[in-house]
Amino acid sequence: MPRSGDSTRECDFKIHQRDHFHCRYCGLDGTKSFANWTNLSWDHLLPHCDPRRDEADFIVTACMCCNSSENQYFREALARSLKFENMTPDELVEQRQPYVTRTRNNYQTFWEANVRNLDTIYEARPCESTQTVLEEGWRLGADWL
Ligand SMILES: [Zn+2]
């Protein structure tokens, strides 16, 4: 196998291979494009205090969005009555899934309101100044202004 030239990516490879290069939360398929593959990371299913945390069985493939979208997960575990003992990796993924999905849905709502189709504003007026583009965005109700 040719080497990637990056030791982190090569360590991830075994985890990604086991998970068929799919994000365990959203299903992003790393085999479909180079961009997808570079977005794959790995996600710990157990908190820092758990001695099994770094075992491969308790690390899963996750895209960077899913991996970072619930960064309060372990900190909020007690308040949410989450448990980690005596659970299988699949059960741990299932437990985390709704929190990741909720955050992803919030991101999608934000993207739809503030990012989607902005390229048409820029492409339609390539010679106009940034100020004009911003004014047009404001007129259209973009929340990013
Ligand atoms: Zn994902």
- 48-67 residue pLDDT tens: 999 999 999 999 999 999 99
Q: Which residues surround ligand 1, an ion (CB under 5 A)?
A: 23, 25-26, 28, 63, 66
| Residue 40 burial by Cβ neighbours in a 10 Å radius (0-12, 13-18, 19+) | buried
| Residue 92 burial by Cβ neighbours in a 10 Å radius (0-12, 13-18, 19+) | buried
d(CA 53, CA 55): 6
* Helix/strand/coil for 101: helix
What mean pLDDT is predicted for residues 130-137?
Answer: 60
Residue 127: how many CA atoms within 13 Å on its side-chain side? Answer: 0
Cβ atoms 57, 80 nearer than 8 A: no
**pTM for this prediction:** 0.76
Cβ atoms 40, 21 nearer than 8 A: yes
Q: How far is the CA of 40 from the centre of ligand 1 (A)?
A: 8
What mean pLDDT is predicted for residues 29-37?
Answer: 97
Q: How far is the CA of 136 from the centre of ligand 1 (A)?
A: 33
Query: Looking at the predicted structure, is the pLDDT value of residue 96 above 50?
Result: yes
Q: How far is the CA of 67 from the centre of ligand 1 (A)?
A: 7
Q: How far is the CA of 23 from the centre of ligand 1 (A)?
A: 5
Query: Looking at the predicted structure, is the pLDDT value of residue 9 above 70?
Result: no
Query: Looking at the predicted structure, is the pLDDT value of residue 127 above 80?
Result: no
Tens digits of per-residue pLDDT, 17-31?
Answer: 999 999 999 999 999
Q: How far is the CA of 79 from the centre of ligand 1 (A)?
A: 25
